[in-house]
Structure 1
Amino acid sequence: MLLHAANVALLFGLLRCYRVAPGIAGVAALVFAVHPVHTEAVANVVGRSELLGMLFGGLMWWAWVAARRAKRHRIKVWVWRGAAAVAYLAALLSKENMVTLPAALWLAEVLVARRRCFLRGALTARLRSLWKVTASFWVLAAALIPYFWLRSLAGEGTAQMPGVGVVTLAGYTLWQRAIIMLEVGLIWYRLLLVGYPLRPQYDGTNIPVIPDWNEWKLLGLLLHAGLVAALWLTWRRVPLVAFAIGFWFITLSVVSNVPIPLGTLVGERWLYVPSVGYAIALGYAVWLVWSHALWLEARLKARMGASRHWHLRAEVTRLCLLLLVASLVGSYVYRTAQRNLDWRDNYTLFSRFIETDPQHPIGYVNLGETLVRRQPQQARVFYEHALRVEPRLISANILLTVLDIEDKAFEQARARLERMLVREPPYLVLPSGEWGLIHALYARVLAALGEREAALSEAQTALRYAPEGPQPLFVVGETLVTIGERDAAIEVYRRLVRLLPLAPVPHAQLGILLLETGDAKAAERELRLAAELAPDKPFIRAWLEKARQQAASQP
């Protein structure tokens, strides 16, 4: 809430830095503060990255404006620009889609200097002015060097990583993605204008993904073309509206699924920053109508012979505008307050999800996951309901298989896994954590049924499919221990320790296996780490004591 309040204050302050009228800045900040589409970003801890990204992006913007205002003091200029670059790097490290903020800042600075850059003087003078505005942006571009270096260290590029999630538009061409998002993009405008209904999941299940033209895609094309035309028509006389439209398109571009296909088609939290453009445009529209009413009243006062009817018309116009704004803001406040209740916890959120979207199986799966530890049988009911909605849903089948294994229903788990493996894609893109987990669970079931060789083969397949997947590695490790492949199990747990250095269970399991193979000193080291990470686990303490005794007895 404090981060969101800081962003609201930054929005108002930055608009005033550009000499935007207090009324426009106030309405824009108010709409941004209470808009229901921001609930996911503000009420959900994952959305904190959006809040931090906008906070540091706003500080970058403020520092850049301060540098422009200090143009007579060269040292101050570069100090402020350096501060802007640092803030931009912090915004990037908070959220990747903040990479577009310098482009939006450039648009604002160009619109401020539009007369020098486009409207007045000789062509060479205008080009020189445009270059003067643009050249200094290399300072912000320099911040991209450490950012992408850090991404390379983390093994990340610019594409969605395999195994992170189901990438709905993976495999479609750039042109096909653009056509699909013309229709999907209508959801953005519904969320901005109405803010209802709100959902935690937008994917190919509740959104049509069709790369062919239809009337909805034509409507989306006309809407976008109309906004582009409005930008072109307003950049000279009403630069604030042009900026609002440009800011919307620029900040939405990365999360639009057009340049890069993402793990979901629409994310409400992704609209947190782009919605600034909507708030500014709405603020300007309110100010425009209000100013027109004031202008009309002033003209009437100047004309003493004007009838009372025209005075009443001006007053009614202002009253209607106030009522309209109050109704809009009031509806946003009400919907935000109601949506906040949905985000209280996972159970409440996904209970609401299946109410508003009963044909989406993920709602039932996620609701089952919130109950699986306390009420496994009720969780099973939700998983089975998800399969009735979508029989091919892999996640529900996996979770039911896990419950079958915990209930020792190995034959039932085997039958379920074999039905899933029949549908395995012939040309699977590797690594695949999902299919690696399926093979790992199949190996676990075969091991429990005494089929050692088949279990070992499936375990090897799982390792090939998901060599760095924690979940498959855990299951494979258990399987290898069951069938007596202790050395192979040690190597698997070494991978887990490297992948999850702060997780106590891999250290404990590795320590136990090393102790059983006679390497008491190495076992003591791993078990000590596990005990430090989980001091409340008595079984780890017991094994650590055994390792210490054996290590002391060894020469």
Structure 2
Amino acid sequence: MRGKAMWAAGRYLVLAALCALCYSNSLHGELVHDDVWAIINNPDVRPASSLRNIFSNDFWGKRMADNTSHKSYRPLCILTFKLNILLGGMTPFYFHVVNVCLHCAVTCLLMHTCERCVFDDSRLAFITALLFSVHPIHTEAVSGIVGRADVLACLLFLLTFLSYIRSVGVCVSADAVPSTVSVCSLVASLLLGTCAMLVKETGITVFGVCVLYDALVLCRRPLISHLSGSRLRDLLHICSPLIKRACLISGYVVIIMSFRLWLMGGSMPLFSEQDNPASFSPHLLTRFLTYSYLLSFNAWLLLAPVVLCYDWQVGSIPLVESLGDVRNCATVLLAVAMLALCLQCVSSLQVRQESREVLVGILFLVFPFIPASNLFFRVGFVVAERVLYMPSMGYCILVVHGLGRLCSVVGRWGTTALSVSMLLLLLLFSWKTVQQNHIWLSREALFRSGIQTLPHNAKVHYNYANFLKDSSRHQEAIHHYTTALRLYPRHASAMNNLGTLTRHPEEAERYYRQALDINPQHNRALFNLGNLLKSQGKEKEAEALLRDSIRFGPHFADAYSSLASLFAEQKRFPEANEVYLQGIENCPDSSDLHNNYGVFLVDTGEGELAAAHYQQAVRLKPAHYVAMVNLGRLLRSSNENKEAESWYKRALQVTRKVDILTPLGALYYNTGRYEEALQVYREAAALQPDSTDIWLALAQVLAMAGRTKEAEKMTLGIISRQGSCIECYRLLSAIYSKRGNYTQALDALDRALQQNPSDLTVRAELHFSKGNQLREMNQLDRAFESYKLAVELKPDQSQAWMNMGGIQHIKGDYAAARMYYQRALLLSPGSKLLKENLAKLDRLERRLTGGA
């Protein structure tokens, strides 16, 4: 007995080790493909998000009742993602570890199920689990994190099945149907089945499997003995336990399906033609033949998983449009095979043989695939490999059943040959699984593999082009977008994205308009065209396009920001504010929208409100360094330097960028912390060595720190590279003036004026600085002329008016001095110095009048 237990434990350890070995190379993979949308971009999985959202939104974070929702209601799967993030952050490794562990659990549970409910020989159950553990069709479900929905649903599927079996008693005679011996197990099976459905929709099919297994296996003997000879009333009485269980399951399924339909807002998901071309065909024959062929195609993927791809849409499998299509032979072959299996089941029931293997194999193969078959509703894919994770259990059971039957008739040598063949198949599947895992390690590897596997698939070219675009490899991206359009000319998104890469506005506009010709409701094409026209000054048409972008994509946050910025540019501030608030209401989890609204509030003088939105942007996206910098600037403007510094430093923990370093350096400079300012500006200069502004800021800090020789050398170096740098000459003048070299300081200002700056304010300031230098050199007449030029260019310079008054005061022209002082006082009525100068002038005039 002990040896038997050890052997059983050894089998489970072998299965777990084999699963871990096959998928160990997937553990260091990235979050790729659908993982990005379901995890990285899904606000519901973030630690700060409400649990209520998980149970009211779809798998991708959209509201279930929304027209754009795919209606994939999988809250328990999303909950596992959220737990993953809470315990291990966004590190992909921990997501992969959980997936591999779940696959190990499913494999072990499948062997237990086969031992208890399928095979009499535990060796066949072990081989079934071995084949399942290494099947290459599982790589998408296990190596792709989104595939957790299929793996976890499969685990709950098996637990539901086992719990249901446990609730039914043993059939002791042919005169009575087994009764329900454990109500708790039956209730547990209902709850587990519901959980399976809440992980993935296909989980609900377990209830059909349970009822049929109950009727055709657990209650087979009494049903067969009474089906032909008993009256209907007697039959109903004998079968009442089975009927009660079936009615309970059926009623419960109707209730939870009604609740599911209510959550969907009473509508089915909307898919495009490229998602499922056959479902959009106007011809019934084409739809029927294509759907039938897709069944045989999926069966072939289970039998011979040689060609695997992450996406089978847009041209991968052409429609079957006529009876003469040779692919109909595959459909007929599958129909014959399934018919033969069904006939074997029926015959085994009639002759009262124990033949659970074929029945369970068919149930496990067919039922979980029904939701993906287009039989009851349109699905959003042509072929999806991860959908085959659950049906593959039935495939493995049927293959091993066939192996067992063959071994029983071929003799010793034949059994050996079959055993070697099965071993080779397991090795081949293991090798293929390991190779396929490499494909799922990164976005680039995945998308490149799609092009190598299905070069005629427009979708894989489009996905790879998106990756290239994100990687700034624009020429390669253009090539693959063009290829996608050649393969599928009605690919509106490829047309739109091609428009974003072209350098010519006319060409971009043409691409956007072509995308809208294909799909007039393409909200991103509307957005891009609206922005393009806005930049060209066509504001009326841009406004209409941006409004349409919001109407067809009410959860597209960028459209709200763009429309609001258009209104702000037109000084339509109330309308801009309304658009921002509407956007925040519809897109409450958009960090960029909160940040942009904060910028708008600062520009309109609502700084206190802006701070709250900057902070909300950071809460929604803890790595939103732009919002941190904006908040730092806002605090800096209120002289809250300590808080501003902390936000700048927090942004630097996210990334070391010039846009963060320069405001931090300015803060240090303005608060007299010159050494820290030098350190920050030097780092900024290393990151962006061609930036004149950064080198100039560094020179200014050196000058203020008393290191004038270094400042001079650095400033002259900037001038040698960019002779038109006016601020450089101003700094050079200040350095020379500080040393008392007024002639050189004056020369630097003259060289700055020779650049003829177009900004009148800058020219006025230069003339004012020149006047100051001349005054220091006691050249009062020339200084007066420089001040005069300054106020002609910028009449509101009170200091220049006062200095002109001072010169006239010194020269003894008191009337002129009084006029200039009074002009300055009008501009600066609170100036004590001006009032003192006027008082001095009054005393002098009284003294002169008294002396006369």
The 8 Å contact of residues 257 and 265 in structure 1, kept in 2 or not, is answered as no
Distance 1:60 1:458, change over 3 A: same
The equivalent of 2:415 in structure 1 is 318
Task: Return 5+ residue gaps in structure 1 as ranges.
Answer: 294-313, 426-431
The equivalent of 2:515 in structure 1 is 420
The alpha-carbon deviation at position 123 of structure 1 amounts to 4.2
Deviation per CA, 1:67-117: give whole Å up to 9, x if none: 225999999722222222221121111111222111012121112211212
The equivalent of 2:127 in structure 1 is 27
Matched ranges for 1:102-501 at <5 A: 102-112=207-217, 113-120=219-226, 122-124=230-232, 125-137=234-246, 139-140=248-249, 141-142=251-252, 145=255, 149=259, 152-153=262-263, 155=264, 157=266, 159-161=268-270, 166-172=275-281, 177-214=287-324, 215-217=326-328, 219-235=330-346, 236=349, 237=353, 238-293=355-410, 314-377=411-474, 378-404=476-502, 409-424=504-519, 432=521, 435-470=522-557, 472-473=559-560, 476=563, 486-501=573-588
The equivalent of 1:308 in structure 2 is none
Give yes or no for the alignment of 1:38 onto 2:141. no
- AA of the residue aligned to 1:247: F
Paired residue secondary structure (2:269): coil
Deviation per CA, 1:211-242: give whole Å up to 9, x if none: 44334235414522541342133241323212
The alpha-carbon deviation at position 522 of structure 1 amounts to 4.1
Distance, in Å, in 1 between the alignment partners of 2:558 and 2:292 is 37
The 8 Å contact of residues 531 and 562 in structure 2, kept in 1 or not, is answered as yes
Distance 1:369 1:421, change over 3 A: closer
The equivalent of 2:205 in structure 1 is 100
Deviation per CA, 1:240-288: give whole Å up to 9, x if none: 2123123322221110123211111111111111111111111111111
Number of paired residues? Answer: 521
Distance, in Å, in 1 between the alignment partners of 2:609 and 2:179 is 60
Distance, in Å, in 2 between the alignment partners of 1:139 and 1:413 is 60
Give the stretch that moved more between structures: 509-518 or 158-167. Answer: 158-167
The 8 Å contact of residues 86 and 143 in structure 1, kept in 2 or not, is answered as no
- AA of the residue aligned to 2:230: A
Distance 1:477 1:192, change over 3 A: farther
Give yes or no for the alignment of 1:502 onto 2:583. no
Distance, in Å, in 1 between the alignment partners of 2:319 and 2:573 is 48
Identity, % of aligned pairs?
22
Give the stretch that moved more between structures: 17-26 or 53-62. Answer: 17-26
Distance, in Å, in 2 between the alignment partners of 1:74 and 1:289 is 37
Distance, in Å, in 1 between the alignment partners of 2:561 and 2:213 is 52
The 8 Å contact of residues 82 and 139 in structure 1, kept in 2 or not, is answered as no
Distance, in Å, in 1 between the alignment partners of 2:377 and 2:532 is 39
Deviation per CA, 1:412-458: give whole Å up to 9, x if none: 31122223334446xxxxxx4xx122112111110011101111121
The equivalent of 1:12 in structure 2 is 111
Distance, in Å, in 2 between the alignment partners of 1:447 and 1:163 is 30
Distance 1:77 1:176, change over 3 A: farther
Paired residue secondary structure (1:265): coil
Distance, in Å, in 2 between the alignment partners of 1:503 and 1:111 is 54
Please say which structure displays the higher CA radius of gyration: 2
The 8 Å contact of residues 34 and 332 in structure 1, kept in 2 or not, is answered as yes
Paired residue secondary structure (1:136): helix
TM-score (norm 1): 0.84
Distance, in Å, in 1 between the alignment partners of 2:567 and 2:106 is 52
Deviation per CA, 1:515-540: give whole Å up to 9, x if none: 44455554333222113334554542
The 8 Å contact of residues 89 and 147 in structure 1, kept in 2 or not, is answered as no
Paired residue secondary structure (1:372): helix
Distance, in Å, in 1 between the alignment partners of 2:604 and 2:166 is 66
Distance, in Å, in 1 between the alignment partners of 2:170 and 2:358 is 27
- AA of the residue aligned to 1:102: F
The equivalent of 1:311 in structure 2 is none
The 8 Å contact of residues 167 and 264 in structure 1, kept in 2 or not, is answered as yes
The 8 Å contact of residues 168 and 180 in structure 2, kept in 1 or not, is answered as no
Distance, in Å, in 1 between the alignment partners of 2:147 and 2:592 is 29
Distance 1:485 1:212, change over 3 A: farther
The 8 Å contact of residues 410 and 448 in structure 1, kept in 2 or not, is answered as no
Distance, in Å, in 1 between the alignment partners of 2:638 and 2:109 is 61
Give the stretch that moved more between structures: 202-211 or 384-393. Answer: 384-393
Paired residue secondary structure (1:332): helix
Q: Which has the higher contact order (CA 8 A, sep 6+)?
A: 1
The 8 Å contact of residues 106 and 134 in structure 1, kept in 2 or not, is answered as no
Matched ranges for 1:82-93 at <5 A: 82-93=187-198
Give the stretch that moved more between structures: 389-398 or 280-289. Answer: 389-398
Deviation per CA, 1:282-333: give whole Å up to 9, x if none: 111111122334xxxxxxxxxxxxxxxxxxxx32111111122112222211
Distance 1:285 1:146, change over 3 A: closer
Tell me how large the CA RMSD over aligned residues is: 3.3
Deviation per CA, 1:192-224: give whole Å up to 9, x if none: 111110011112411122444334235414522
Task: Return 5+ residue gaps in structure 2 as ranges.
Answer: 1-99, 173-177, 640-852
The equivalent of 1:304 in structure 2 is none
Deviation per CA, 1:119-176: give whole Å up to 9, x if none: 34624444445442242245555366467536644x4556223579734344457775
Distance 1:490 1:180, change over 3 A: farther
Distance, in Å, in 2 between the alignment partners of 1:219 and 1:535 is 53
The equivalent of 1:306 in structure 2 is none
The 8 Å contact of residues 276 and 380 in structure 2, kept in 1 or not, is answered as yes
Distance 1:75 1:271, change over 3 A: closer
The 8 Å contact of residues 169 and 261 in structure 1, kept in 2 or not, is answered as no
The 8 Å contact of residues 347 and 370 in structure 1, kept in 2 or not, is answered as yes
Distance 1:39 1:448, change over 3 A: same
